[in-house]
Amino acid sequence: MTFDKKADAEAYEDKVKGAKAKGQVVRPRHLKTTYKQWSDEWLKMKRKKSTQDSYQRNTRNHIVPYFGGTLLHRIEPMDVQRWIWALEVKGLAPRTVHLIYKTFRACINRAVKKRILAVSPCVDVELPEVQRRRVVPATLEQVLGLYENLPEHYRAIVFVGALSGLRLGEALGLCRDAIDFDGGFLTVKRQVILEDYRAVLVDYTKTAASFGRETPFPDLAKAVTLRHIREHVPAGRNLLFVSSRGNVIRRSVFYKAWNKARKAVGLPDDFRFHDLRHTFVSTALKEGAPLSEVSLWVGHASQEETEGTYKHQVAGSASEGRRFLDNVFSITKTHFVPPPPVVEVEGDQEDYKVAA
For residues 340 and 338, what is the distance between their CA atoms, to the nearest angstrom?
A: 7
- Do 298 and 307 meet the contact criterion of CB atoms below 8 Å apart? no
Instruction: Say which CATH topology domain 27-131 has.
Output: DNA polymerase; domain 1 (1.10.150)
For residues 123 and 11, what is the distance between their CA atoms, to the nearest angstrom?
A: 18
Domains of the chain by residue range: 27-131, 140-338
pLDDT computed for residue 53 by the predictor = 85
How is residue 114 annotated by DSSP? Answer: T
Q: Which residues contact 298 (CB under 8 A, 6 or more apart)?
A: 165, 213, 215, 277, 280, 281
User: What is the full per-residue pLDDT of the chain (356 aa) written as tens digits?
Assistant: 455 667 766 776 676 666 555 555 556 667 789 999 999 999 999 887 778 888 999 999 999 999 999 999 999 999 999 999 999 999 999 999 999 999 999 999 999 998 888 889 999 999 999 877 666 788 889 999 999 999 999 999 999 999 999 999 999 999 999 999 999 999 999 999 887 778 889 888 887 778 889 999 999 999 999 999 999 999 889 999 998 888 999 999 999 999 999 999 999 988 999 989 888 888 887 777 877 788 888 887 643 454 533 233 344 556 666 777 777 776 555 556 555 655 555 544 444 444 43
Q: At what angle do helices 94-113 and 77-89 cross, to 10 degrees?
A: 150
Region 140-338: CATH code: 1.10.443.10
pLDDT computed for residue 232 by the predictor = 94
What are residue 212's phi and psi, to 5 degrees?
Answer: 80, 5
Considering Cα of 302, then 304, then 309, then 310, what sign does the dihedral take? Answer: negative
Q: How many helices (H) and strands (E) does the chain have?
A: 15, 7
pLDDT computed for residue 13 by the predictor = 66
